[in-house]
Amino acid sequence: MSTMKSVRTGGVGTIDVVDTERPVPGPRDALIRVRACGICGTDVTFLHMGGMPARAHLGGDMVPVPLGHEPAGEIVEVGAEVEGLKAGDRVVVNPQDAPTGIIGCGGVHGGMSEYLLIENAEVGKSVAVFPDTVPFAVASLNEPMAVARHCVNRSGAKPGDKVVVFGAGPIGLGAAIWLKLRGVEHVVVADVIPSRLEKALAVGADAVINSAEEDVAARLTALHGQSANALGQPRPGTDIFIDAAGVPVVFNTVVGSAKWGAKLVMVAVQKKGSEIDLGGMLRSELTLIASQGYPTEIFEVTPELVEHQERFAKLISHRVPFAEAERAFRLALTPGAAEKIVVTLGDED
C-alpha cells in the first residue's frame, strides 16, 4: 500500500499531518499530485471548531476534516474512461463537484495533501487545464477568485458605476481586480490594516479608505460626489457597496451611507449577527444581494487568471512549504499576520 501525507484538523486550533493511503483512481477518475493549495477562512473556521460535527443536524461529536479546497497540481494518472486529460496536465479543481462531498469542506478528500483523487474527472466540470506559464501557487487562487467573480457578477456593476469594497482580504481584493477588469470607473477599497490598503492600490484600486481613522461617508462623498436618499438627506454618490469583511459595523455603515437605489452585495460570511436598521434600508431603497460560492464561475475565471497572472500574484503574501504546514496554519490563525497563504509542494514552477 502506498501512502501519502495529508493535513486534517486536530484539536481546537491545531492540525494533524497524517499518513494516509494514497488514492487509486478508478476508470473514470484522475489522480493529481498537488503542487500548491491555498488556506481559506473556511479552513480557519474548522480549526476553531476542532473539526466538524459528525452529524451536524443532530449535534454529533466533532470529527477530523481533511483540509484544503484551493488546490492546483499536475495529473499523474488517469482512468481508462477519462477523456481530454493526460498525465502531466496542470489543473485547477472544482471542489464542489466531488460526489463524496466538497473537497476540503467536509468531503472524504482534502486538497492539502500530496495527492488528490478527482472522481468522475471531466474537463470543464471537475477540473480545468492551465498552461505551464502560470506558477502553481498563482493557479491555486482560481477557487477564491471564482468566489470574488461571482460577487461582482451578482453586483451587476457597469463601467459608469462607483463602487466601494469593504475588506482587503483575498476576496475583497479579488473583487476589486474583477471590477477594474470589467471596466468599472471608480473602485475604492476600505480596510483597517495599512498594508492591505497598500496592496489594494497595487492591484488597481483607484482609492483606499482606512476606516479606523477616516469618516467613511465623508471620504466616499469626496470621492464619489454627493447624492441623497429617498428623503433628500445627503449621502455619498456610491452606487454599489460590497461587504467582504463580514463585521456588523460594515453593514451599519452602508445603511447609513446609502443613496437612493444603492446596492449592497454581501459576500463575506458574517462573523456575528447585527441588528438591521430596516428603516434606514427603506429610506434609501437599498437592495441587499447575497453572494454565495460560484455557481458558474469556477472555470469562467481561469483564462483571465492566466492572462492577468502578475496582478493576481500580488494577492499572495506567504508561500510556505508543505513541510512547514503547521506554521502556515498558525499564521492563518493569527489575525492580521498574513493576507493570502499558499502552501507549496515541490518546486515553485
Show me where the domains of the chain are located. Answer: 3-141+316-344, 144-290
Q: How far is the C-alpha of 83 from the C-alpha of 68, rounded, in Å?
A: 26
CA distance 257 to 259: 7
What is the tens place of the pLDDT at every residue in 193-240?
A: 999 999 999 999 999 999 999 999 999 999 999 999 999 999 999 999
Domain 3-141+316-344 superfamily per CATH: Medium-chain alcohol dehydrogenases, catalytic domain (3.90.180.10)
Q: Are 315 and 170 in contact (CB under 8 A)?
A: yes
Binned at pLDDT 50, 70 and 90, residue 325 comes out as very high
Pick from 115, 92, 112: nearest CA to 47: 112
Note the CATH architecture for domain 144-290.
Answer: 3-Layer(aba) Sandwich (3.40)
User: Is 182 or 59 the better-scoring residue by pLDDT?
Assistant: 182
What's the rounded Cα separation, in Å, for the pair 291 and 273? 17
105 Cβ contact list (under 8 Å, min separation 6) = 42, 65, 69, 95
pLDDT for 275: 79
